[in-house]
Amino acid sequence: MMRHLVLIIVLGLMWPALSQALTVEPSQRIKDLASFAGVRDNQIIGYGIVVGLPGTGDQTTQVPFTLQSIQNMLARQGLSTAGAGNVQLKNVAAVMVTANLPPFAKPGQQIDVTVSSIGSAKSLRGGELLMTPLKGVDGQIYAIAQGSMLVGGLDASGKDGSRVTVNIPTAGRIPNGAMVERAVASTMGGVNSVFLNLNSPDFTTAKNMEQAINQALGGGAANAGNTLSQYLIERAEQYQPVIEMPTGIDVEIVFLEG
C-alpha cells in the first residue's frame, strides 16, 4: 500500500540535533532506522591496466585488448610500437576498477577501490594499477585511481601439474586508492524540507519517529506521511471492522454511548 515512508522536517531545524541521540525506542537511533532521501553512495567504474605482475598476467595473444591498451598508453608517452609485431607480455593485466563514491565526498578526499581482472591473468598479486579514470553513469570523471594492490587470494602451480588456489587471486583492493576529482551535486541545500526514508517502511515506526523529533525539536517539526499524501496514524482499536451481511437477513442496529 505504501511504497515509501518519509518524515518531512521543516527547514530551520538544528541539523546537529538530528545526528545526536534521538531515539524512537531505547537503544534505537534515528540514523539506524532511516536515511535522508537523495543522500546515497554513487557507483563509479573505469578500465585500467595492472603492471608489474610476476608472470601471472594476461596472455596478450589471447587477450588482444590488453596489448592494445599498452600500445595506446606508450603512444601517449611518446613511444611508438608500430614495428614491434605481436608482443607477448605476461606481466600486465587488463582490469575493471570499481568504487563507491560516498555522499558529500569532496575533491581531494580518498576512497577505496576494487580491482578485478577481465582477461586471462592468473593472479594480480604484486601488481600496481596505473592511473585509471573512474566515471559515473553520466560519463563524467569523478575520481582517479592508482596504486599498489592488496590481493588476499593465492594461486600456485607445480611442474608436476599440481595447482593450489586460495580465495580469489584475480581481484584485490587498493585502500584509499582513488582521489575524488568531482563532487556529486547535492539536493540538500536550498530546500524548505527534507525527507527521511525508513529502511523498513512501517506506519508505527514513522509515527514514533515523528513524536521523537517533535519532542526534541518542538511540536510541528516533523510529520509522518508518504510521497502521495499525509497519514495520521491512529491506534488499531479506533478502527471498527465492516461486516457484510447476506441480503434477506434482518439486522438490528444498536448505538452505544461512551
pLDDT, mean of residues 38-64: 91
pLDDT higher at 193 or 162:
193
The rounded distance, in Å, linking the Cα atoms of 17 and 228 is: 28
Proportion of the chain above pLDDT 70, given as a percent: 65
The DSSP secondary-structure symbol of 236 reads G
Tracing cell 596504486 back to the chain, one arrives at 147
Alpha carbon distance 45, 132 (integer Å)? 9
**What pLDDT sits at residue 175?**
95
Position 96 confidence tier, pLDDT thresholds 50, 70, 90: very high
> 230 with 206: CB under 8 angstroms?
no
Instruction: Tell me the H-state helices in the chain.
Output: 15-19, 30-33, 64-76, 203-217
R_g (Cα) of the chain, nearest Å = 29
Cell numbers at 7, concatenated: 518524515
User: Can you tell me the distance from the alpha carbon of 62 to that of 108, in angstroms, rounded to the nearest whole number?
Assistant: 39
What are the tens digits of pLDDT across the range 191-208?
667 778 888 887 788 888
Residues ≥6 apart with Cβ < 8 Å to 242:
none
Going by pLDDT thresholds of 50, 70 and 90, the confidence category of residue 233 is very low
Report yes or no on whether pTM surpasses 0.85: no
What is the rounded CA–CA span in Å between residue 12 and residue 81? 63
What is the distance between the alpha carbons of residues 126 and 68, in angstroms, rounded to a whole number?
22
Domain ranges of the chain: 5-39+187-238, 42-180
The answer to whether the CB of 98 falls within 8 A of the CB of 41 is: no
The per-residue pLDDT for range 111-144, each reduced to its tens digit, is 999 999 999 999 999 999 999 999 999 999 999 9
Q: What was the pLDDT predicted at 221?
A: 63
| Confidence band of 87 (pLDDT split at 50, 70, 90) | confident
Which residues are bridge partners to 256 per DSSP? none
Q: In what order do the strands lie in the sheet with 34-36?
A: 34-36, 193-198, 5-10, 222-226
Residues 200-223, mean pLDDT to the nearest whole number: 76
